[in-house]
Amino acid sequence: MICESALLFASMMIAGGSAGRCPETAVVETMRSPVFIDAPYWQGSRVVGGVAQVAPIDGVRVSDGLALVVCGTSGVWIIDLTSTRGPKLVAVIAALDRASGVAVTDKFALIADGYAGLGVFDIGDPLRPSEVGRLDTPGFAGSVAVVGTTALIADGYQGLRVVDIGDPAAPVEIGCLSQSGWANDVAVSGRYAYLAAGAAGLRVIDLNEPAAPLEIAVVDSIGAVRRVVVEGPNAWIIDDRGRIRAIDIREPTAPVEIEFPNRSGGENDAGPVFKPVRAADLINGRVNPAPSWIDALVFE
């Protein structure tokens, strides 16, 4: 189920809320600062605050009233969303290399830290986050997803790394899957992982045996696949040319590309309506219906 209004990003991301319902506060990532918007986003929403900073943002995750903002070499910013005075920066987790992705499980933040591998941080006290464990992966940890006590890392040219985090203080690699492209991003749904593998396209991986992940399907791409988002029966992939494709993954062994409307309307106008949005327009409280580049698409 897609929220009545949700965002899929080319260079941005939305986070917050549980599956099947819209978050009370949406966190919109721009390339300069996170912007916090009341939901539902598209109808009568308003900007409620922002946290200014200068580092490029690589991702945002929301958990228990906190936004974890991935800021590259500036680490991961922890922002309190519960303050009546608006979002407040409460702590920064320093990066050893480059914070490139984050996932949250229980009271722990898992940070994909570039060539410094996977960092595990206790954020039970968000004012005082502390590192409890680390695993030096062989490649560039660019993204991390979690299912149960298993973390999945998109590790650059070293492919997908499967890590047991049952003991957060001692994460250990239990499996891996090499592939020819650069693993940029990873998403997980059930027992399947979806790996954005650059020029090697989208790889669908069966995790039934975590120690022996098995590639079961490939979706080719003209451009290098940089991002993947799984929402219900679809995987949405974004390439380095800004193109967005929708893939039906109801049968993981046989993913099928589906039609969806383009930015300007036209022949493919069946199905949900997509409206491109610029970060500047969000900040200024207005929407530009035809920007020259995609920041995000709005699902209605």
- Backbone Cα Rg of the chain: 18
Kindly report, residue by residue over 230-271, the tens digit of the pLDDT: 888 988 888 887 777 889 999 999 999 887 544 444 444 333
Predicted local confidence at residue 35, as pLDDT: 52
pLDDT value at 22 more than 80: no
Confidence of residue 36 (pLDDT cuts 50, 70, 90): low
Kindly report the number of other CB atoms within 10 A of residue 135's CB atom. 22
Residues 132-157 have a mean pLDDT of 97
**Domains with residue ranges and CATH for the chain:** 1-94+261-300 (2.40.128), 138-258 (2.130.10.10)
Is residue 281 classed as helix, strand or coil in its secondary structure?
helix
Please calculate the CA angle 300-19-118 and round it to the nearest 5 degrees: 115
Kindly report the number of other CB atoms within 10 A of residue 92's CB atom. 15
Mean pLDDT of the chain: 76
Is the Cβ–Cβ distance between 95 and 128 less than 8 Å? no
Cα gap 23→2, rounded to integer Å: 12
Is residue 123 classed as helix, strand or coil in its secondary structure?
coil
Q: In Å, how far are 29, 56, 186 from 80, measured between CA atoms?
A: 15, 20, 26
pLDDT value at 48 more than 70: no
Q: pTM of the prediction?
A: 0.76
pLDDT value at 155 more than 70: yes
